[in-house]
A and B are shown apart, each in its own frame.
Chain A
Amino acid sequence: MKKPTVKRTHWNRIHALNSFRRKLVSASKAKALRRATGGRAPIADDDTEPVVSDLLVVHCPEVFSLEENFAGVAEVVTRIRTAVTRRKEKELAIDMSGIRHMSTTGALVLAAVLDLWSAGREKLLPVAVDQWDSVVTRQLEDMGFFDLLRTTPTGQRVLAEEEREGVERVRYLKLRSGEKAEGIEFQALHNDLNAVAGESRPMPRLYAAVTEAMTNVAQHAYRARARRPQWWLTASYDSRSRRVDVVICDLGAGIPTTLPRRHGEFVKRLARNDDAHLIQAAHEIHRTQSKDAHRGVGLNNDIRGFMDGFGDQGDVTYRVVSGRGEYICTKPAGLNRTDRLLTHNMALSGTLIQWTIDLRP
């Protein structure tokens, strides 16, 4: 096949953007794409049809939250995650101008997958940054998301009073990432939390929970994959409810994939082995395994065990999302823990763990 000329390559790129533009109905999104193309009009140098583009265009749904729109978030993450592995597209145009609400979990998984894309040195093109929702933009700024995108928010409108209240009420902490069990990263996050929450109580159980989750990423999450392990960590604090959300995720194989590989016999004995039951079973496995019985204790003792350590201090919720499964444990202060399992239609790459803690005195 004849190698395309520079002009031809440029035309292919512009054509892909224009194809995407035709699908959009809102004027704001069309403007977003004009900005992405730098206002240039596409000019073909001959009459042949353009070849397959090396540009991936992804636009995010209005609600970017795993809690409220799991399928929408999972679809975006999967498209980018797949493109990272496939290495076919060289550029990613990410359009977030449609997002009106973004949760901590949604922001973290999006940051993780964009970080993964950027790490492969493929080009990342944030589209229409000046049209992103102002509240979402502020949230992402707090998280250091724009450093990741290597851009700066521009042209943001002044927030209305109720929006400003919302932004000031819920504070999002800086995203952190690493490859190993790095306790110092948790400590830095805890210091940020203390600064916004006015808290200073030590949290050795939460330290243990988060560093064990990091350890699991280093040991298990990426074993079957060619790339290095990596985790992403953030937190948010709601000053009205005094609620803290600490979230860590990876983009590895996921518990429903790694558990049967490591403990096939155990999995065969389970009454049900859908993703949600596999996640729940992963917490119990060390109790039943004789081989390497000393390993795999962190998930039960620390990561979920944090709830028991929190005792009567306040309500605490623990949540694991991996593949199509979701495992949620809720423990109101002074009461017993209740478990809930959910199965989604779409799978989320990797594993996400969330601890929601009530800091009320």
Chain B
Amino acid sequence: MTSQVREQISVARDFSPYPAGRYEDDGDYCGQRFREGHLVPALRRAECVEVSFEGVYGCGSSFLDEAFGGLVREDGFTKEQLDRQLVISAGDDSSLADSVKLADEYIARAAGHA
């Protein structure tokens, strides 16, 4: 049940500027921890969640796939639901545009759309 209209998550500020790894065994700032600790609670609370990568030093595929693809695989979200509810951006940092593209791609792949 969502109670807020919009929620913003800055990966660098609210989680870590150094996201890396897939599972908790891989590192403290892994995709699983970001998904379980930030993304899923925000998606349950708000109608729209904006995730910004501005300020992070980079983002590997394992982190992105587990954080975003994992929403479909592990938490039961559908791609259509995430298309409506989740907005991912690089903020003002164009060098992180690839990460945004990959996050969207991993959601589509997890949902069997790629």
* Contact code string B16-32 (vs A, CB < 8 Å = 1, else 0): 11111111011111100
A305 to B92: give the CA distance in the assembly, Å.
24
Knowing A183-B19, A215-B21, A294-B109, say if A204 contacts B69 (CB, 8 Å). Answer: no
Cβ-based interface call for A214 (8 A): yes
Q: Does B13 contact A (CB under 8 A)?
A: no
Question: Which of B21, B30, B98, B109 sits near A204, CB closer than 8 Å?
Answer: B98
- Known A-B contacts A182-B20, A215-B20, A219-B25; A206 and B58 likewise in contact (beta carbons under 8 Å): yes
Asked if B110 lies at the interface with its beta carbon under 8 angstroms from chain A, I say yes
With A and B bound together, what is the CA distance between A294 and B102 in angstroms? 12
Number of A-B residue pairs, CB cutoff 8 Å, is: 103
Report whether B22 and A215 are in contact in the complex, using a CB–CB cutoff of 8 Å.
yes
How many residues of A are counted as interface, with CB atoms below 8 angstroms from the partner's CB atoms?
29
Question: In the assembled complex, which residues on chain B have CB atoms less than 8 Å from the CB atom of A186?
Answer: 18, 57
Bound CA–CA A211/B28 (angstroms):
13
| Chain B residues with CB below 8 A from A264, complex form | none
Tell me the complex Cα distance, A214–B19, Å.
Answer: 12
Question: How many angstroms from the CA of A211 to the CA of B18 in the assembled complex?
Answer: 9
From the candidates B29, B30, B69, name the one contacting A294 in the complex (CB within 8 A): B69
Would you call B99 an interface residue if the criterion is a C-beta within 8 Å of the partner chain's C-beta atoms?
yes
Q: Please report whether the interface of chain B is mostly helix, strand, loop or mixed according to DSSP.
A: loop
Nearest B residue to A309, CB-CB: B98
Within the complex, the shortest CB–CB distance from B100 to chain A, in Å, comes to: 11
> In the complex the two chains form, is B73's CB within 8 Å of A294's CB?
yes
Return the contact of B61 from the options A187, A190, A302 (Cβ within 8 A): A302
Q: Mark B66-89, 1 if CB is under 8 A from A, else 0.
A: 000100010000000000000000
- Contact A180 B26, beta carbon cutoff 8 Å: yes
Within 8 A of B (CB), among A178-197: 180-184, 186-187, 190
With A187-B18, A294-B73, A295-B22 known as contacts, the answer to whether A218 contacts B58 (CB < 8 A) is no
Known: A294-B106, A301-B102. A212 touches B60 (CB 8 A): yes
User: In the bound complex, how far is the Cα of B27 from the Cα of A319, in angstroms?
Assistant: 25
What residues on B are CB-neighbors of A214 within 8 Å?
20-21, 27
Sample of 17 further A-B pairs with CB below 8 A, known A187-B18, A214-B27: A180-B25, A181-B20, A181-B26, A183-B58, A202-B93, A202-B95, A204-B95, A211-B20, A211-B58, A211-B60, A212-B20, A219-B22, A219-B25, A294-B106, A298-B61, A301-B61, A301-B102
Residues of chain B at the chain A interface (Cβ within 8 Å): 16-23, 25-30, 56-63, 65, 69, 73, 93, 95-96, 98-99, 102, 106, 109-110
